[in-house]
Structure 1
Amino acid sequence: MKRIVCFHLYNDYSGSPKVLHMVLGGLIEKGCRIDLISSDGGVLNELDGSPAFRRYSYSYRFSENPLIVMMRYVWIQVYTFLFAFRYLFTRKAVFYINTLLPVGPALAGRIMGKRVVYHYHENAFVKGAFYRTLSWLMQHLAHEIICVSAYQASFLKRKEGVTVIPNALPRDFVARLHPNIPAAFERKTVLMLSSLKGYKGTAEFLDLAEKLPQYRFLLVINDSRENVDEFMRKRYPGAGSRPANAAVYPRQNDVAEFYGRASLVLSLSDKTKFIETFGLTALEAMTAGLPVIVPTAGGIAEMVEDGRNGYRIDVQQLGLIAARIDEILSNPDLYGGLAEGALSVSRKYSAEAMYDGILSALA
């Protein structure tokens, strides 16, 4: 039985630990033994209870003070570097490093002659010098680097030992999606999951609702109710000025039901300010049998072929996006073809394919 020693810096409920939770669960199903070294208190705690899983925790939290953040980070790297040597005499132990941040155990793994595999989720080259330094270290320490998209991998100077394994959706989430193409077409509803960051296209989505009053628009903003209400008050200060065809929701624990209310899903991220390394919402939409409109760059663009499962259009061409929405939602034959294409493409991103790919990279 393969022993996988996994290091992840901060165990919370954000994207990378959620993906790791899914991956480790799948690897346990495939007969692997997992030792996880991470902070306490997040989604990874939910793996406790399996006889093939052991978790070692440390205390780690963020601070508003950058100096304190860096001091804590350095201390955890020293701690996990030393902790890693408990596996010095463990045969066939593989060090699985999730994200760029756990550099200490990666270094220890190379010193001990262990296989070191990084799962690279972020794009260091659009961040600061600190992340670019971590990327340089990763490219020198890793035997294998798992990237989530070809776009992300294209930034690495290293080309050997780089594998693209796209993310997948948890099986329980997929089970809550119920594709019904004729019913979805009749809903005439456009959905977007976004945030209040300016480059995510939230304001432009509301512009589209105003341009297309014949359709319904659902916007789910990953923020608190208070912040969402404040944003809407600033945008529509006058009574009755909000578009009647738009409904806006704050952060949701489960977004599956929203795909069941939609016909079409948008991603309006501004590629001049932010590029998605992977399009999770696009994959969720396609798995629900919904066509998508996404930007023309990034990992999210790799998932879409114009006219097959949606369209790639940048937010700067808002008039063209509006025209495409109208064309898709007024033509049942076009809609049906795009929706079938979305379902077909989504099957390439199965959880089983992701587990097999990662297991192969760890071998």
Structure 2
Amino acid sequence: MSESRENENPSSVRIIAVHPLNDYSGSPRVLADFLTSNFLDPKMVTIITGRTCGFLHDGLGQRCLLWSPKRRTKLLKLISFVFLQIQLFFATIYMVLKSYFKQEKVLVINNTMLSMGSILATKLCLATNIVYLHEWTIGSQRVGRTVRFLSNFLIRIMAHEVVFVSEFLSDRFKIHKIHKSCKTTVLPNGLRADFIPEPKLDQRRKFNEGKVLFVGYLKKNKGIFELLKISEKMPSVDFQAVLNCSADEIKDFTCRYRLPDNLELVPQKVEVQSYYQESFLVLNLSLADACLESFSLSTLEGMSCGNPVVVPPAGGHFEYFDSVAGAAIDARNTDQVVEFISRLKSDFLLWKKYSDNAIMLVDDYSAAAFQRRVDQFLSRYI
């Protein structure tokens, strides 16, 4: 562990934000936007996270960086996970005690269920313990159930407040009876602060180019193999997949599986807005029985750029998605997805109707609306 920047002129309040693995996925991105609240100054923020590149950068506050080795086998992944929790535990204790020594009030934001070590450390240090939950499904079903059970137990007895990204996710966790003394808040996600939809959308150009976009992971439960099948069935359509993985991981994947000529795999990007702006339709192919979407930022971002969407038949996205903006289809029904795409490609007026509706439905999920909700939440603690 190492500190990447010294904190000068400390505030009377210290925000310690914990996220185990920094990357370009949804949960660190939402936390990064959370930390840009009008109530917060980078001098009052400490971020405990991984050394890898991601949304949690130095500009948000002082960082305490954790070491996590590259993991190839299941055994190494398990060892790495346990080691990461130990680092989270001691890093959180150190940062909280350091803040106490400076006579600062401490608020710890434990981001995702994977912050178990820091949840425990926060409780032992008697700091305010906030748990920010973004997902229901983690890893494989067996591992995910185990992590969820352990995390639920810790949250139930240790958290002062649990923040959910959707009513859907809140309802799922209430099934497991979060302790009555623990407050719960739903804080819906919004568009990124730097995500600015085009003031004038060139719908005719989007339709004519006809690119289909997938934003996600190289994971079976995220529908990557369904994407291969769909693109193979539509050789005249260009498909792009912007993936939260490295170029090396894409290379390994393409060595093991044959890609259709019309499918391009793009490694993780900080800036994905241009891909949404140039696409004609956005696919979310998560398999609902294996990976329930608790919100689906890619769907929200796609709709904000005037893209009709294909989404799973269940999940938190139904809090803003409606069938007037796309289709809810089980990704395994690839023929049904192909039929929907083909129907839109053959009819501009029909596609435009879906496009217009998509933009209208996400009006309440702007970056400004999210910041207002965050400010209101933090006003209770700061």
Q: TM-score range by the shorter chain?
A: 0.7 to 0.9
1:6 equivalent in alignment to 2:31 = no
1:63–1:69 contact (8 Å) kept in structure 2: no
Check 1:334–1:31 CA distance in 2 against 1; reply closer, same or farther (3 A cut). Answer: same
The residue that corresponds to 2:6 in the other structure is none
Higher mean alpha-carbon deviation, 314-323 vs 65-74, is at 65-74
2:191–2:301 contact (8 Å) kept in structure 1: yes
Structure 1: any 5+ residue segments left out of the alignment? 237-241
Return the letter of the residue paired with 1:347: D
Tell me the secondary structure at the aligned position of residue 336 of structure 1.
helix
The residue that corresponds to 1:207 in the other structure is 229
Tell me the secondary structure at the aligned position of residue 260 of structure 1.
helix
1:57 equivalent in alignment to 2:67 = no
1:95 equivalent in alignment to 2:133 = no
The count of aligned residue pairs is: 349
Q: Shift of the alpha carbon at 1:138?
A: 1.4
Measured against aligned partners, the alpha-carbon deviations of 1:300-351 in whole angstroms (never above 9, x if no partner) come to 3443211x21111111222222222122222222212211111122222222
The residue that corresponds to 2:303 in the other structure is 286
2:240–2:266 contact (8 Å) kept in structure 1: no
Higher mean alpha-carbon deviation, 178-187 vs 62-71, is at 62-71
Check 1:131–1:14 CA distance in 2 against 1; reply closer, same or farther (3 A cut). Answer: farther
Q: Shift of the alpha carbon at 1:67?
A: 4.1
Measured against aligned partners, the alpha-carbon deviations of 1:200-238 in whole angstroms (never above 9, x if no partner) come to 3233223323433454333344445555456456554xx
Same amino acid, percent of matched pairs:
24
1:296–1:314 contact (8 Å) kept in structure 2: yes
1:177–1:260 contact (8 Å) kept in structure 2: no
1:70 equivalent in alignment to 2:82 = yes
2:329 and 2:246 map into 1 onto residues whose CA distance is 29
**TM norm structure 1:** 0.81
1:130 and 1:313 map into 2 onto residues whose CA distance is 29
1:38 equivalent in alignment to 2:48 = yes
2:308–2:325 contact (8 Å) kept in structure 1: yes
1:259 and 1:56 map into 2 onto residues whose CA distance is 31
Aligned match for 1:358, one of 350, 353, 374: 374
Higher mean alpha-carbon deviation, 15-24 vs 108-117, is at 108-117
Higher mean alpha-carbon deviation, 257-266 vs 156-165, is at 156-165
The residue that corresponds to 1:348 in the other structure is 364
Aligned match for 1:172, one of 162, 187, 194: 194
Structure 2: any 5+ residue segments left out of the alignment? 1-10
Check 1:224–1:337 CA distance in 2 against 1; reply closer, same or farther (3 A cut). Answer: same
Return the letter of the residue paired with 1:269: S
Q: Shift of the alpha carbon at 1:289?
A: 1.0
1:101–1:134 contact (8 Å) kept in structure 2: yes
2:276–2:302 contact (8 Å) kept in structure 1: yes
The residue that corresponds to 2:165 in the other structure is 148
2:211–2:240 contact (8 Å) kept in structure 1: yes
Tell me the secondary structure at the aligned position of residue 154 of structure 1.
helix
Aligned match for 1:249, one of 238, 259, 265: 265
Q: Shift of the alpha carbon at 1:112?
A: 6.6
1:2–1:31 contact (8 Å) kept in structure 2: no
1:83 and 1:232 map into 2 onto residues whose CA distance is 43
Q: Shift of the alpha carbon at 1:136?
A: 1.9
1:320 equivalent in alignment to 2:336 = yes
Q: Shift of the alpha carbon at 1:263?
A: 0.8
Check 1:63–1:70 CA distance in 2 against 1; reply closer, same or farther (3 A cut). Answer: farther
1:97–1:118 contact (8 Å) kept in structure 2: yes
Q: Shift of the alpha carbon at 1:288?
A: 1.0
The residue that corresponds to 1:182 in the other structure is 204
Return the letter of the residue paired with 2:292: I
The residue that corresponds to 1:239 in the other structure is none
Q: Shift of the alpha carbon at 1:264?
A: 0.8
1:220 and 1:98 map into 2 onto residues whose CA distance is 24
Aligned match for 2:135, one of 122, 126, 134: 122
